Amino acid sequence: MEQEKNKQILVLGLDGAGKTSVLHSLALNRVQHSVAPTQGFNAVCISTEDSQLEFLEIGGSKPFRSCWEMYLSKGLLLIFVVDSADHNRLPEAKKHLHQLIGTNPILPLVVFANKQDLEAAYHITDIHEALALSEVGNDRKMFLFGTQVTENGSEIPSIMQDARDLIAQLAADMQ
Ligand code: G3D
Ligand code: MG
């Protein structure tokens, strides 16, 4: 029975947004930059006080994006990571996000407006607007966090710890 349940937390977003860096930092509780672009899939298991969370990152480069929707039906919730300073590609990120969530009106959504450390980064209110997050649907739980993965080895910012707690809670609610 257990195996039949959806357990995976999907981590999607354009290439270079910071998906791997965010995931590894959440797992280690330490800031950890990604060293290489993800080819294909990256599975990360994170233990919390009362559960194990399985995260699946699917590479964001074009050839892998067609895989995204296939995995959506198996996901507990969707984490969508954007590079807040990559203004030019926000419309593309928005398009993909809306395509993804369009297939599932209740899948909870957690958006990481990443790279908040960069001077050019849009504030989360602008990211909310650029990604049209007010249009994700009334029946969907949606959360937006401003995140940054900066000094390697330092403790992750408290907002990322909060995000991890929230994700664990949402995942528990969905099971
Ligand atoms: P992806 O998994 O979404 O493709 P990665 O993204 O985690 O591989 O990160 C892509 C690049 O962005 C990496 O740099 C990584 O160090 C950097 N990065 C990730 N998060 C942040 C952040 O919050 N702030 C800043 N300034 N950089 C970040 P390289 O140089 O290896 O391409
Ligand atoms: Mg990656």
The whole-angstrom separation of Cα 13 and Cα 141 is 18
Q: What pLDDT score does 85 carry?
A: 98
**What count of residues does the chain have?**
175
Ordered by where they begin, the domains of the chain are 2-174 (3.40.50.300)
Q: What pLDDT score does 30 carry?
A: 80
Is residue 25 lining ligand 1, measured as CB closer than 6 Å?
no
Sheet (strand 8-12) strand order? 41-47, 52-58, 8-12, 75-83, 109-114, 142-146
For residue 52, give the nearest of 42, 60, 43, 65 by alpha carbon: 43
Q: Probe ligand 1: pick from 33, 39, 58, 79, max atoms within 8 Å of CB?
A: 33
Residues annotated within the binding site for GTP are 13-20, 60, 114-117
Q: What pLDDT score does 84 carry?
A: 98
Q: What pLDDT score does 2 carry?
A: 47
For 31-67, how does the pLDDT look when each residue is reduced to its tens digit (9 = 90+)? 877 777 877 888 888 887 777 889 999 887 777 777 7
Q: What pLDDT score does 103 carry?
A: 84
Residue ranges in the chain modelled with pLDDT below 50: 1-4
Global pTM value: 0.93
The whole-angstrom separation of Cα 152 and Cα 106 is 36
Q: What pLDDT score does 17 carry?
A: 96
Is residue 163 lining ligand 1, measured as CB closer than 6 Å?
no
